[in-house]
Amino acid sequence: MQILNPPEWPAPKGYANGIVAKGRMVFVAGQIGWNAEGRFESDGFVDQTRQALRNVVRVLAEAGARPEHVVRMTWYVVNKQDYLAHNGDLGKAYREIMGRHYPAMTLVQVAALLEDRAKIEIDATAVIPSQG
């Protein structure tokens, strides 16, 4: 895996501008902040983000992938002010679950998500490195 960042650009904070990877691809559908039983345990933005990330990691594990194999994520939020207001706590939750691996990421504010209580949805693409 190679991180792409043009040398004349400032270093990104918490994401990569691009990644080149070779291997088996894993596509994770949008995951929201509910538990394995499909129930929300919290309406808090950080709590839902933490659970959505756990859900992404759980799906990755089904393919034998780990957080460091993620090359791209898209975060859909219903209120970007929630994201901005909790940036420090989000970073802490992210590192707790994903480690210090920062894939190419996009954040999009949307009018709504399918599940009314959902405040965030995260999808991901991972590449499990080729052996040899």
Mean pLDDT score of the chain: 95
- Answering whether pTM is above 0.75, one says yes
Say what the pLDDT of residue 13 is: 86
Could you give the 3-state DSSP secondary structure of residue 34?
Answer: strand
* 8-63: pLDDT as tens digits: 999 888 899 999 999 999 999 999 999 999 999 999 999 999 999 999 999 999 99
Annotation: CATH topology of 2-129: 60s Ribosomal Protein L30; Chain: A; (3.30.1330)
pLDDT of residue 4: 92
Task: Report helix angle 87-98 to 45-62, nearest 10.
Answer: 20
Q: Which residues contact 75 (CB under 8 A, 6 or more apart)?
A: 83, 105, 106, 107, 108, 120, 121, 122
